[in-house]
Structure 1
């Protein structure tokens, strides 16, 4: 046998973007195959300018675009994002162009009772588009579409408004815990009677004779020490409170028992008041914040509301079909809103927004941070349902393997991590640029905010409440004295 044998294959995307015949290779008995290429791989390494139609949803930083019409389902204009970078690289390598559009129902897609899917998944399942871009790979979806390898693994979490400071009227009592206050009250109440018992049981004279001969009222008014036997039980109890208020005792002790008791009491008062002052200053300068929620269990047991995006994706499918008790409990009270409405509810407080972590990182630095990267939004610590993101193709699609190899090359080159880092930085820099225009008008306020702040009425409201309460109590005592005719 002699001569040359030419091999041709069926080209799905040849000239004029139609099905045609493509030359593959030639074979001769002497030299064998001349081009020595992988014939099967060559079929889908060049699409000859074919226009692919891809369906996707807006989910920055993975996918970002601008709508050409207000209604969902229309063609979109791609913007710089992770999957758009991958798509452009694939278009350059495989020689094709593309059209991006949204699914008609504006949903990622969830499984219906009849076995069909809505949204992006349903569009690919019915072959109404050539492939979809970023889509969460789940076990249920693999029965409807074919996925590429996952190029990004992403966990879910939730965000809430950062906790604010607790009411400052509680500042005077915050330095000590409630059990400490109770112990301090008990010790103070019993210290007076104990000292009074020492006064009565000891035979020693505790004061100078010439000072004790002076009238009692005159001695008290002049601040001179008086004889302990002339003190009443109530006066001794009141005198024991003086060290707690930073005041000296009005009497001088001579007995060893009295000196020992009072020395220990004054030392105890010195330590207690020193610790209280230091802790009070800390509470006033750095107010304690309200407790935070970091787990789904804490969220489910709280009295706040929670919700997720109304695009009904894999997150919706997870909570809808899960038999895990905490997921079932959360799904019963789940709310569904768009991105902007969800974040507005978070900023108002009392609402938790459940979605993907990188998605939160991006929108927080892009839309909800000031030029100093400060934000009022807090990402919870718990991460759950880590899922992979990939592209989906209709079942039996001949293109899946070519795109799968491309994803592998991009992952091995480290481009995914680098691109994600760049995109988050671009979102942050865009947020900084958008807020810089107003920086000149607020510079004075920012300078004041960054400087040392003086205490305001807000910080000292607890002190004023104590003062008003003391005045009220004194007024009630005065009324009682007048009523009972027992003025002292």
Structure 2
């Protein structure tokens, strides 16, 4: 995770009057404080300074501090940016956060004019600050707007946020702090400065909700940005899910589409339960109404990914990453991907009376027949040529052909050869017949001992080669990443599977599988559970065969995070 900082400078002139200090001195103080934060926490970061006015002492002093220490950065006038055409704004936002090599970013937002806060936050929203949840926000300004700024919707995904406010003496009284509704952390050390107070946005300190703390520390060198994810303090997370056992399973509490569901024992629930005990959070589990992982249309997603994209939920259970999905959600890898398998009827026993021909395949039987004919023709031609040259008796064609066949059956008739070349040809044919007969005899014994079975269907190629074979998959699966695999694949076999794919529920498809000539394509872990629980007897017998060959479709499984 990259570190991003946002320093928000607020309405300081009002407080400077309370302290009877010159405006110039206030600007110097703020500039020095910001410089300390940058020096200790943002060294080497790509910094962006956004202001709504370039005519303030605060702005000038911040620029003066950065001119000495900052290696790279940008200065943007939010009001000017909004006055430009859309193309200029898009180009500005595109280069605002640096490039993919930027590992640390800083944003400084000058809100010296108190009525410019709305303009500044509108710009932050258009610049998609909410996509950079690692942003470290340091707010500098008056105490009146602390809570409004630190809890502003534009900072909803910001993990770290600080607010440097000019010191108002009345804030020392606990009664006044209570009126502001600010939570207080008061260490033993002296205050940070006689004129500056430090506030921090805490994500879960108000019974699991975001709130603001007042912090009095001696320096800005350490302890400003703490890990806030060790204790969620009972925060309630909203989780969207689809049933996909063994990864996720639930029972609906009531017959309402997309309502809260009751989780059942499954892998994701075990992991979430373990995390909740350690990190102290609770969950509300919601079913995705259409049981959809997420399909993209014009950059907008449906299903679980769509809820994350619209920030309607905090995270989703198991989902596969794709190029499009990774543009709108974060992804936590949890499992290796489930592979696809072909579910068909178990291979059946072959008829016993066909054991005599099963030792050799059809191609080999055809090759043997062709060999007998070819040898007989060659034998007859050689003997015929010898007769024409040297004289002597002739050899009939049927005699040569029957000798070749008889030798193959180990019952050869009288040797028909009348020449040395014919005898040589007969000798090699006898050797060939010995090899073939030995192989046939041993294979025949094996087939008579163990009855053969029909071939199993393991690959997509096996389905395509069957002829008049049909296949299907489930409607909830044939969406999102799995659908993209079939729709965009360049292999001709996969394209043929895609064109012939039918869509139906698992139970309906398995009934068709039992009728024959049909297969179900589904994720292996998922369909294995269904077959074992619904179609297997107490002795472990089942009519289905789930292919041992694995077909990888997805890269990995994990959780999606908004």
Tell me the alpha carbon deviations over residues 201-247 of structure 1, each in whole angstroms, 9 at most, x when there is no partner.
xx9xxxxxxxxxxxxxxxxxxxxxxxxxxxxx999999998887788
Query: In the alignment, is residue 307 of structure 1 matched against residue 472 of structure 2?
Result: yes
Tell me the alpha carbon deviations over residues 294-326 of structure 1, each in whole angstroms, 9 at most, x when there is no partner.
246974996432333211433344147526354
Query: In the alignment, is residue 180 of structure 1 matched against residue 373 of structure 2?
Result: no
Tell me the distance in 2 between the aligned counterparts of 1:260 and 1:296. Answer: 46
- CA distance 1:308–1:186, shift in 2 (3 Å): same
Which ranges of structure 1 fall in alignment gaps of 5 or more residues? 196-202, 204-232, 395-488
Conserved 8 A contact 1:300-1:330? no
Return the TM-score normalized by structure 2.
0.50
The aligned residue for residue 380 of structure 1 is 549
Query: In the alignment, is residue 153 of structure 1 matched against residue 336 of structure 2?
Result: yes
Query: In the alignment, is residue 67 of structure 1 matched against residue 252 of structure 2?
Result: yes
Return the TM-score normalized by structure 1.
0.56
Query: In the alignment, is residue 104 of structure 1 matched against residue 294 of structure 2?
Result: no
Query: In the alignment, is residue 338 of structure 1 matched against residue 502 of structure 2?
Result: no
Conserved 8 A contact 2:335-2:558? yes
Query: In the alignment, is residue 86 of structure 1 matched against residue 271 of structure 2?
Result: yes
1:62-461 → structure 2 map (5 Å cutoff): 62-69=247-254, 72-113=257-298, 115-144=299-328, 146-154=329-337, 156-161=339-344, 162-165=346-349, 170-174=354-358, 175=360, 177-184=365-372, 273-284=437-448, 285-287=450-452, 289-290=454-455, 292-295=457-460, 299=464, 303-311=468-476, 312-319=478-485, 322=488, 324=490, 326=492, 327-360=494-527, 362-363=529-530, 371=539, 376-384=545-553, 386-394=554-562
| Shift in Å, 1:103 | 0.9
| Shift in Å, 1:121 | 1.5
Conserved 8 A contact 1:158-1:379? yes
Range moving further from structure 2, 164-173 or 52-61: 164-173
Tell me the distance in 1 between the aligned counterparts of 2:472 and 2:433. Answer: 52
Which structure is higher in RCO with an 8 Å CA cutoff and minimum separation 6? Answer: 1
Question: What is the CA RMSD across the aligned residues, in angstroms?
Answer: 5.1
Query: In the alignment, is residue 3 of structure 1 matched against residue 165 of structure 2?
Result: no
- CA distance 1:299–1:90, shift in 2 (3 Å): farther
The aligned residue for residue 419 of structure 1 is none
- CA distance 1:299–1:7, shift in 2 (3 Å): farther
- CA distance 1:109–1:264, shift in 2 (3 Å): closer
Tell me the distance in 2 between the aligned counterparts of 1:279 and 1:138. Answer: 50
